[in-house]
Structure 1
Amino acid sequence: MAAGQDNLTAVLYGINDMRLEQRPISEPNDIQVLIQMEVVGICGSDVHYMTHGKIGPFVVEQPMVIGHEAAGTIVKCGKNVKHLQPGDRVAIEPGCPCRMCNFCKIGKYNLCPGMMFCATPPYDGNLCRFYLHDADFCFKLPDNLNLEEGAIMEPLSVGVHACKKAGVKIGDVVLILGAGPIGLVTLLAAKAMGASKICITDILDIKLEMAKKLGADHAIKIEKHLSEDEIVKKVVTLLGEEPNASFDCTGVESCVRIALRSTAKAGKVVLVGLGKFEMNLPLTSALIKEVDIRGVFRYNNDYPTAIEMVRSGRINVKPLITHHYRLEETLQAFETAKTQKGNPVKILIHANPNWRPS
């Protein structure tokens, strides 16, 4: 690319220290593509890195480009890239594994110890004008998906992966704890996979209202005066039976406990939210019921499923998109995410300077 071409980039230097700066544009290697970035969503993890400087063992120790929920347009391909060409619009799966370790070979590449994941220290993300990525983790968008929907394929893939872990099928009864973005995409995926009844919980009415609009059959507001026993009873009463699949999308200990206590015998509890390293949980009662406890970490081989669900009309992700900003307005976008002003669900940042609001 021409020297001096605009590659405005959002770089996190430390806690609450986000800067916009120009970065050089690199050439793709044999298996990479150069992408004109179009849309990048703000994830809760991005906000956490900005406000705390770390997530668990991942610590921001040097300047890091932020952003990993993304879609863009191919502008140049490496010589070995055959399935993409300049002009293709793609959803970008943000992790590139080693492809050589045992986890990669058995199809669990999300557990690869050599995973290079966007905006996870020490690796840069993709909130910039131009970005290099391995071509085999770029997925061409169907004609009936726009680039904004393409960026939502990242969080949707988390929900798809969680529902695959639970084996959600037609007729299943589902409990989802937490109606944030990940709880909502889990709701959408469960509905698309055939769940017949879904109950969702949250502490905020406005989030529960959104969940109902997206298809939740029942919603429970978790209030301080409600005991754990009362919440469990409420779940079972509303659903008419114990759920056979429960998803904790909060990482909060009390929610994990409710999931374990509510779930039916031989059911599955999927832990999606990241919380404390150690929790006090009712494991004996789960053991007696033979409840299967499953963890999820990101996703693997789920982007094609997520894209097909939206292409076919089984899922509509557009209601999740609540805010739009330009790349030059990144600081304002993150302030909205931090303060939750205007009840944001999914905030999108448009990296292409030619973007115009529709």
Structure 2
Amino acid sequence: MPALPTSLAAVLHGPKDLRLEPRLLWAPEPGQCQVEVKATGLCGSDLHYYIAGRNGDFAIRSPLVLGHESSGVITALGGGVATQYPHLRVGMRVAIECGIPCRSLNSDGSCRTGKDACKHCSNSRYNLCKNLRFCSSAKTFPHRDGMLQQKINHEAWCLHPIPDTLSYSQAALAEPLSVLLHASRRAGICPPSSYPSLASTSLSSSLSPSSSNMSLAAGKKILVFGVGAIGLIACALARELGAERVCAVDINNDRLAFAAREGFTHGDGTGTYCLPLPSKSNSPEAYSSNPKEPENIRRAKENAANALSIFDEPDGFDIIFECTGAEGCVLMSVFCATLGARIALIGMGNPLVSSFPISAAATREVDLIGSFRYADTYNEAVELLSGSNLPKTTCKSSHLNGAQDSEKAGFSQKLAKLVTHRYPLSQAKEAFELLARGKDERGGMVLKVVIEA
């Protein structure tokens, strides 16, 4: 009897304990495809798992294959796929969506009805499905392995065809771009999805023909905290959606300089702010006139005032994307927000904030918006990465630096610059160590590290 084929996988057993191991490769089940993984981007959550064995509240409880920003090529079809998903075929290049909800289906494939139906899957919010399993996440147990392996079996409906003009590494960016498409919808600056995959009715049908040509981001001033890969995508998408101005805050001058130079932000020298590290001084001058005010709140106010001065935006920003999860940035975002602003919480950082300016947020009607993963975003992400436009606005806004738009790379070319380093699967551990350092051996900046076949 012939031996079963195997697939090499990078398996995390504990903090910094990443091992290359063979895994048995079974035939795809009904409704699944077998996919040869061609590219997988490493993200902040992968790094948290690698360094600490956990990401926020989610700790690994058994060996786990990381990686969820992936693309590949279909090598086999499971039973029923050719009939149910006729657009998929062997040899097709695809982007891989890694969140697998219940879809409001029973184990036999029949639809749930009434009180048994999953309200989140039924309303195109399947990212909130209680039974969702996300590849490479320790949120649920048993864990479902991620994409740092040669071949995987995956649900067919989660595979999204990509054009031949889009490289596998670029297609892997559909996942982080999806995070920002979802957050932008939550923040009210991006239209609803044109591709609802689970809902019974199209969300986009609520848009009239005239309103679909209007930019929801027009006139909006947007601030992004953190210009790692996710933050840079937030900047790029906000500009693509037609925001009036996009600015950014970080602690890394090199990344801020990259953001300004490559057109992710607006304003030469005035669209970025480098956040100083907390002072170790305990001098009386370091404290506010209010002795009851916590030090972290005082510092957040001070940093916000300095940033708004540099940006020349005394009234603050309309939309804020908080992509760091760091307590200081979360607090600072409240004081950088204008009246009636929205703050989208994207970064997964400290699970607790020691004190929060709830009164400042409430009296100024600042909305704190949670944003977790994504739903119905992948096809539009692929379109954007392929050079297509969102159904947004008939023209770009003529804001600061607007005259320079034509001199900058297009959206998809701009995002392609985020991939700074590539490694084979056999060097996955070295790739994680590079991502942790943040600079390569030549002192070059590390943004997005991709594992390629």
Question: Could you tell me the TM-score, scaled by structure 2's length?
Answer: 0.74
Question: 1 CA distance for matches of 2:150 and 2:348?
Answer: 31
Q: In the alignment, residue 101 of structure 2 is paired with which amino acid?
A: P
**1:328 counterpart = 2:426:** yes
Question: 1 CA distance for matches of 2:16 and 2:258?
Answer: 30
Equivalent position of 1:166 in the other structure:
187
Question: 1 CA distance for matches of 2:312 and 2:236?
Answer: 18
Going from structure 1 to structure 2, the CA distance change for 1:291 and 1:52 (only over 3 Å counts) comes to: same
Q: In the alignment, residue 233 of structure 1 is paired with which amino acid?
A: A
Question: 2 CA distance for matches of 1:90 and 1:202?
Answer: 34
Equivalent position of 2:30 in the other structure:
30
Residues 231-269 of structure 1 deviation map (CA, whole Å, 9 limit, x = unaligned): 323443315342100111111121111111111111111
1:154 deviates by 0.8
Question: 1 CA distance for matches of 2:43 and 2:278?
Answer: 31
Query: 1:136-155, aligned counterparts within 5 Å?
Result: 136-155=157-176
Going from structure 1 to structure 2, the CA distance change for 1:195 and 1:66 (only over 3 Å counts) comes to: same
Going from structure 1 to structure 2, the CA distance change for 1:30 and 1:214 (only over 3 Å counts) comes to: farther
Going from structure 1 to structure 2, the CA distance change for 1:224 and 1:49 (only over 3 Å counts) comes to: closer
**1:271 counterpart = 2:320:** no
**1:223 counterpart = 2:276:** yes
Q: In the alignment, residue 108 of structure 1 is paired with which amino acid?
A: R
Contact 2:259 2:265 in 1 (8 A): yes
Going from structure 1 to structure 2, the CA distance change for 1:103 and 1:348 (only over 3 Å counts) comes to: same
Contact 1:199 1:235 in 2 (8 A): no
Equivalent position of 1:236 in the other structure:
308
Residues 196-216 of structure 1 deviation map (CA, whole Å, 9 limit, x = unaligned): 211100111111112112421
Going from structure 1 to structure 2, the CA distance change for 1:214 and 1:156 (only over 3 Å counts) comes to: farther
SS at match of 1:13: strand
Contact 2:232 2:264 in 1 (8 A): no
Question: 1 CA distance for matches of 2:92 and 2:13?
Answer: 33
Equivalent position of 2:12 in the other structure:
12
Match of 1:255 among 316, 322, 329: 329
Question: 2 CA distance for matches of 1:164 and 1:196?
Answer: 17
Residues 71-112 of structure 1 deviation map (CA, whole Å, 9 limit, x = unaligned): 000011123222210111111111111111221111111111
Query: 1:178-327, aligned counterparts within 5 Å?
Result: 178-212=226-260, 213-217=262-266, 218-224=271-277, 227-237=299-309, 238-240=311-313, 241-279=315-353, 280-311=355-386, 312=388, 313-316=410-413, 317-327=415-425
Q: In the alignment, residue 174 of structure 1 is paired with which amino acid?
A: I
Number of equivalences: 350
Question: 1 CA distance for matches of 2:312 and 2:36?
Answer: 47
Runs of 4 or more, structure 1, over 6 Å off, are: none
Question: 2 CA distance for matches of 1:225 and 1:326?
Answer: 39
Residues 313-340 of structure 1 deviation map (CA, whole Å, 9 limit, x = unaligned): 5443211000011111111111111222
Contact 2:57 2:351 in 1 (8 A): no
Cα RMSD, aligned residues only:
1.7
1:277 deviates by 2.8
Q: In the alignment, residue 349 of structure 1 is paired with which amino acid?
A: I
Q: Which runs of 5+ in 2 are unaligned?
A: 105-117, 190-216, 280-298, 389-409
1:278 deviates by 2.6
1:225 deviates by 6.4
Contact 1:192 1:309 in 2 (8 A): no
Contact 2:221 2:244 in 1 (8 A): yes
Contact 2:423 2:451 in 1 (8 A): yes
Question: 1 CA distance for matches of 2:351 and 2:50?
Answer: 21
Q: In the alignment, residue 159 of structure 1 is paired with which amino acid?
A: L
Residues 276-317 of structure 1 deviation map (CA, whole Å, 9 limit, x = unaligned): 233211111111111111011111111122112222254432
Larger radius of gyration: 2
Question: 2 CA distance for matches of 1:219 and 1:15?
Answer: 34
SS at match of 2:383: helix
SS at match of 1:231: helix
Question: 2 CA distance for matches of 1:202 and 1:338?
Answer: 17
